[in-house]
């Protein structure tokens, strides 16, 4: 039993198919994190610009946005 277990452990060590899957998973998580943070930063900028535009419209008209 011990010999067969040692053979299995050696075969797992030499098998690198799962490593590629882990690398793709890490790359995907990194891409999603960077994309989400970028969109959150842009959302704040867009909100500020829209508020400024609304204030400018309110200053020139009586109807508002």
**pLDDT tens-digit profile of 31-51?**
999 999 999 999 988 999 999
Where residue 61 falls (left for φ over 0; alpha for ψ -120 to 50; beta otherwise) is beta
- Please give the structure tokens belonging to residue 11: 């075969």
**Which pLDDT score, from 0 to 100, does residue 15 have?**
65
**Which pLDDT score, from 0 to 100, does residue 7 have?**
80
**Which pLDDT score, from 0 to 100, does residue 28 have?**
95
**Which pLDDT score, from 0 to 100, does residue 61 have?**
77
- Is residue 48 within 8 Å of 41, Cβ to Cβ? no
pTM for the predicted model, two decimal places: 0.50
Let me know the angle formed at the C-alpha of 47 by 57 and 28, rounded to the nearest 5 degrees: 155
Each residue's pLDDT tens digit, 4-32: 878 877 776 676 666 678 888 899 999 99
């Amino acid at each position: 039993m011990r010999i067969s277990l040692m053979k299995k452990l050696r075969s797992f060590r030499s098998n690198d198919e799962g490593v590629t899957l882990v690398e793709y998973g890490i790359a995907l998580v990194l891409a999603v994190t960077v994309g989400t943070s970028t969109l959150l930063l842009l959302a704040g900028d867009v909100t500020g610009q829209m508020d400024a535009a609304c204030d400018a419209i309110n200053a020139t008209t009586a109807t508002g946005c």
